Amino acid sequence: MNKKAKILVVDDDVQHVDTVRTLLENVGYEVDYAYRPEKGIEKAKAFKPDLIILDVMFAGPPGPDGVETSRKLNEDPDLRGIPIIILSGVRKVLDLPFKLQPDEQWMPVKAFLEKPIKPDKLLAEISSALEK
């Protein structure tokens, strides 16, 4: 790894963002973050990350959810191709009555991960996503 890989974390949970940031920086990634999806897209354009970690549900004023954001990112010519991992506390179908599987059209992401997650698993998924 010549150059530090850049990871953008988009999540509304401040503690979570802190933890993920600390972990990733400690294992050698360069990390930026955003608490709102709209802000995340802006940050992505400026930060040009190698990987984006997205939450699904965001508290606060109404806006796009994580899945919608993943589609927007994929539609943006500047950002298309950046791998996305969704890391969400959504208990899958119980909260959202739709299929939560990575899907080219509907949810163009590399992986759908569920909180809580152990660092081993998270780091393995990140490595795997960056390799592709």
Partner 1 sequence: MKLRTKTNIGILLVFCILAISTGVVTFRWHTNHAIKGAENRVRLYIKAAWEIYNSKTDRIQFALLVLAEDDKLKNFMLDRRSTDLRAIVLEQLERVRREQNMDILNLVDTKGRVVLRTRNAGVRGDDVSNDPMIRLVLKDRRRSGGTVLFDSGRLQTEGEDLVRLAKLYGGESGAMMTGAAVPVKHNGRLIGVIQMGNLLNGSVEKVDRIRDSLFENQRYNGKPVGTATVFMRDLRISTNVLNQDGTRATGTRASGEVAERVLKNGRSWTGRAWVVNAWYLSQYDPIRDPDGQVIGMLYIGSLEQRYLDERSRAVLLNLGVVFGGMLLAVVVFYLIIRTILSPVHRLYQATRKLSAGDLTHRIDVRSNDEIGELSDSFNHMAEQLLKDQKEIQESHAQLEERNEELHTTNRNYMEMLGFVSHEFKAPLGSAILGLYSVKDGYLGPVSESQTRVLGSVAHSLDYLNDMVKHYLDLSRLEKGELRPHRRTVRIKAEVVEPILSGLRPAVEEKQMVVTSCLADDLTANADPSLLRIVYENLLSNAVRYGREGGSIQLAGKRRNGTVELVVYNDGDGVPADKINRLFKKFSRIDNIRNAREKGTGLGLFICKEIIDQHGGSINAESEEGQWTKFTFTLPAEASVGQPLQQVQ
SS3 98: coil
Candidates 89, 102, 111, 130; binder of partner 1 (CB under 8 A) is 89
CA dihedral 131, 12, 28, 77 (to 10 degrees): 40
Closer residue to partner 1 in complex, CB, 38/103: 103
- Residue 15 structure tokens: 């503690």
Q: Which of 39, 45, 80, 91 binds partner 1 (CB under 8 A)?
A: 91
20 near partner 1, judged by CB under 8 A: yes
Going 11 to 51 to 37 to 71, the CA torsion angle's sign is negative
Please pick, from the candidates 15, 77, 81, 104, the single residue that binds partner 1 as defined by CB under 8 A.
Answer: 15
Closest CA to 9 of 57, 46, 55, 53: 53
Q: Which residue has the tokens 């899958």?
A: 92
Contact between 4 and partner 1 (CB under 8 A)? no
Looking at beta carbons only, is 47 or 58 nearer to partner 1? Answer: 58
Q: Is 45 in the site for partner 1 (CB under 8 A)?
A: no
Q: Residue 86, interface with partner 1 (CB under 8 A)?
A: no
- Asked whether the bond before 77 is cis by omega within 30 degrees of 0, the reply is no
Instruction: Point out which residues bind partner 1 (CB under 8 A).
Output: 13, 15-16, 18-20, 22-23, 26-27, 89, 91-94, 97-99, 115-123
